[in-house]
Amino acid sequence: MRYDAVGFDLLTALLDSWSLFADVAGGRDLGMRWHAASQSLLRGKRYRPFEDILRESAGAVGIEAAKADELIARWGQSTPWPDVPGVLPHLNSYTRFIVTNCSERLGALAAARVGKFDLVMTAERAGAYKPDPRPYRAALDALNLHRKRVLFVAGSAHDVGGAARSGMDVYWANRGRVPAPTDGRALREEEDLRGLIDVLES
């Protein structure tokens, strides 16, 4: 096989966390602004409590603090994207891991919604938020994987650059149909995971 392992972003590539933000916020537009605000507060920065970032970003877009606490309480309710359950069973012969911008507790809750993985590397454990290279490298080191033998499934444009800079090939599930990043290139870009098997078997 070309790869020994497949790594995943969790909250965009595997889970529809956007809908949970929207449901708690009371609307899609406000939920997405809340999500975007949270990402701007953490992206590439040294780790500080993820739950604090969810509360601060809520306030930044005019959402009351109680809603942030509700989001945290419901974090384990995010559902996998429709294509995910059909794809993951085909990857049982690979080491499978997650690299996520979460706390340890919330990362474990969210990952359990998708299935079993050999490792869930969180920003809290790595000490930094993606696309800082530390979370990706921490996962590779923990599993004793060579970066050239790993395909990483990115959920965001920032993940494409972060994983590529860490030496991994990247498959980009560009669910938001956003422009390509300038700091990294995906081996393949699709709207979901359904092209992943082709890449692994090519």
Residues 102 and 161 in one domain: yes
CATH number at 160 reads 3.40.50.1000
Domain final position from 77, 105, 124: 77
Domain final position from 27, 58, 77: 77
Q: What is the pLDDT along the chain (202 residues), one digit of tens a residue?
A: 899 999 999 999 999 999 999 999 999 999 999 999 999 999 999 999 999 999 999 999 999 999 999 999 999 999 999 999 999 999 999 999 999 999 999 999 999 999 999 999 999 999 999 999 999 999 999 999 999 999 999 999 999 999 999 999 999 999 999 999 988 999 999 999 999 999 998 8
Residues 119 and 191 in one domain: yes
Q: Is there a contact between 160 and 151 (Cβ–Cβ < 8 Å)?
A: no
Provide the β-strand partners of residue 6.
96, 151
Residues 64 and 94 in one domain: no
Residues 23 and 10 in one domain: no
CA R_g for the chain: 16
Residues 182 and 124 in one domain: yes
Range of the domain at 85: 5-15+78-201
Could you give the 3-state DSSP secondary structure of residue 148? Answer: helix
Tokens of 59: 């306030």
Residues 123 and 153 in one domain: yes
- CA–CA dist 202, 195 (Å, integer): 11
pLDDT tens sequence across 79-122: 999 999 999 999 999 999 999 999 999 999 999 999 999 999 99
Residues 34 and 110 in one domain: no
Tokens of 142: 């923990």
Total count of domains within the chain: 2
The two beta strands, 169-173 and 5-8, are unpaired
Residues 107 and 10 in one domain: yes
Domain final position from 25, 50, 77: 77
Residues 10 and 48 in one domain: no
For residue 120, report the phi and psi dihedrals to the nearest 5 degrees: -120, 100
Residues 69 and 82 in one domain: no
Residues 110 and 162 in one domain: yes
Residues 10 and 43 in one domain: no
Give this prediction's pTM: 0.96
